[in-house]
Amino acid sequence: MKIYIIGIGLIGGSMALDIKMLYPDATVYGIDSNEKHLQEALVLGVVDAAASMDNLSDADFVILSVPVDVALTVLPKVLDVIGDNSIVFEVGSTKAPICNAVANHPKRRNFIATHPIAGTEFSGPSAAIKGLFEGKTNIICEVERTAFKLQEKALELFKAIGMRIRYMDPKAHDKHIAYVSHLSHISAFMLGKTVINKEKHEQDIFDMAGSGFESTVRLAKSSPAMWTPIFKQNKVQVIETLEEYISNLTQFKDLLIKEDYNAIFEEMESVNRIKEILNGMNVKK
Ligand code: NAP
């Protein structure tokens, strides 16, 4: 089996590690515009060899794991050069723009649109983790537009790396993910900004920061190169979530100004049920 991974960073690299472990006969090739990342991936044994876009004609699988703006231009080029039996999947955090970009491509049936709900705040091949996808959800969009035989090949791979599958319409994906992922990142970035701007002496932040601050602000370490195009592509949905979030923050502030501590208590108590919701999610996995 020949597997080409374009963008050998956190997600592409983690896929490579699992594939190499599960399919010892497979050769995993890395393609990356970042020469340092490509060399790192070779040294760390994340990929077996380096390759280029000219080599894709004999691929069994092509995994596209680049920032979402880059995917819009690279995916059609990949589909232009692959063979009839190759399956290409893309793992970006937005799905409607990528599905639209190849809607009329003659090789559309060789493509499967996915979003593995797994990751960390780190980037590059050194951030790749074995078993990252175990027990996690993979959202697949427009599955009916992928050739049935190729769907089966991809699903077998997703199952082997431990993922459970959820099918979704691309627009619904982008709307829901704006709440649970995109808004969380903006809120972490702006929490980090608020604290950095206020605390002129950084040492004070480190001395007083407990695990609460650290875990809440964790996502603010994420890569701006990855997140700017996500916010650009999902702008309308993200603005909607921000309006709701800002309204909740303003309401909380108003309660504090009015010294309505009963309402503040009730507000927090009603949100406490997030515990049950998250526990339920973990049980399902
Ligand atoms: P990453 O660690 O930054 O890896 C992406 C790699 O692609 C980098 O080495 C990057 O190089 C390279 N690249 C950029 N443009 C390229 C091009 N034209 N051709 C070939 N390689 C190129 O990013 P990641 O976290 O793995 O994210 C990859 C994709 O997965 C994104 O679409 C993201 O939305 C999605 N995703 C991420 C997560 C997460 O938690 N991180 C979770 C689910 C899905 P440079 O560093 O030089 O740009």
Task: Report whether 19 contacts 157 (CB < 8 A).
Answer: yes
pLDDT score, position 121: 92
Nearest-CA residue for ligand 1 atom 7 is 7
| 37 CA closest ligand 1 atom index | 9
Query: What is the end-to-end Cα distance of the chain in Å, rounded?
Result: 30
Q: Domain boundaries in the chain?
A: 2-170, 173-284
Grouped pLDDT means (10 residues each) for the chain, 285 residues: 98 98 97 98 98 96 98 98 97 98 98 97 97 97 98 97 97 97 97 87 76 91 97 98 98 98 97 89 58
Instruction: Please state which CATH number belongs to domain 2-170.
Output: 3.40.50.720
Specify the CATH class of 173-284 in words: mainly alpha
Report the predicted TM-score, pTM, of the whole model to 2 decimal places.
Answer: 0.94
Distance of CA 171 from the midpoint of ligand 1 (Å): 22
| 223 CA closest ligand 1 atom index | 3
Ligand 1 pocket mutation pick from 98, 226, 234 by most atoms within 8 angstroms of CB = 226
pLDDT score, position 283: 57
Question: In angstroms, how far is CA 205 from the centroid of its own chain?
Answer: 29
* Ligand 1 pocket, residue 139 CB under 6 Å: no
Name the token pair of 203. Answer: 């040492």
* Ligand 1 pocket, residue 9 CB under 6 Å: yes
Question: In angstroms, how far is CA 134 from the centroid of its own chain?
Answer: 15
pLDDT score, position 30: 98
Residue 60 DSSP symbol: S
Distance of CA 57 from the midpoint of ligand 1 (Å): 23
pLDDT score, position 284: 52
pLDDT score, position 208: 77
- Reduced to 3 states, what is the DSSP secondary structure of residue 43? helix
